[in-house]
Amino acid sequence: MLKSLEGNFDNEEVHELLTKHFVELRAASPKGSAHVLDIPGLKVASIKFWSLWQNENLIGCGALKFLEKGHGEFKSIRVHNNFRNQGYGINVINHLINEAKMLNIKRVSVETGAGDFFLPARKLFEKCDFKVCEPFAHYKKDINSVYLTKIINTY
C-alpha cells in the first residue's frame, strides 16, 4: 500500500532525490530552457509537494503549482531509481491528479524537455492521457520544451 506525505523536504531521502532531480535536469537542459525548481522554489505558498512511499521506501515525489483558478502545473515529478521502469511513475501521476481533484483543479499541465533525455517523461504523460498544448502560464515557445495538458474530472 502506498502512503503520501505532504511537504517532507527535511527527510534525507526526499532531499537527496530532489537534489539529484535538479542536477540532472539542469545538466540535460540547454541554458535558458531549464524550468526545474530547486527545493526553496518548491517551498513557496503556491505549490503543494508530496512524497510517495511503499512501507519505508521512497517511491518518488511530485508537486502541484497553482496557476489561475482551476488550472495547475505539475512540477518536480521524479521516481526513485529503485522503482523506475516498474509502473510507479503512473502511481505518482495518479496521486497528483487525485490531489488536484480534491483541490478543485480542472486542468493540469506540465512542461518537459524535448530532448532524448526527457523521452521517458513524455511517454509517461502520454500514457496518462496528457495531450500536447501551447505554452501556458509564463512559458514561451521553445524548441527545447514540450507542453502537455489534461482536463480532469473533479469530484
**Residues 15-25 pLDDT 10s:** 999 999 988 88
Range of the domain at 60: 2-151
- 39 vs 105: CA distance, rounded Å: 23
**CA nearest to 145, candidates 117, 124, 106, 126:** 117
The CATH code of the domain that includes 113 is 3.40.630.30
Residue type, 123: K
Q: How many domains does the chain have?
A: 1
Task: Tell me the pLDDT tens digit for each residue of 33-92.
Answer: 888 888 899 999 999 999 999 999 999 999 999 999 999 999 999 999 999 989 999 999
Task: Tell me the pLDDT tens digit for each residue of 97-137.
Answer: 999 999 999 999 999 999 999 999 999 999 999 999 999 99
What values do phi and psi take at 99, rounded to 5?
Answer: -65, -40
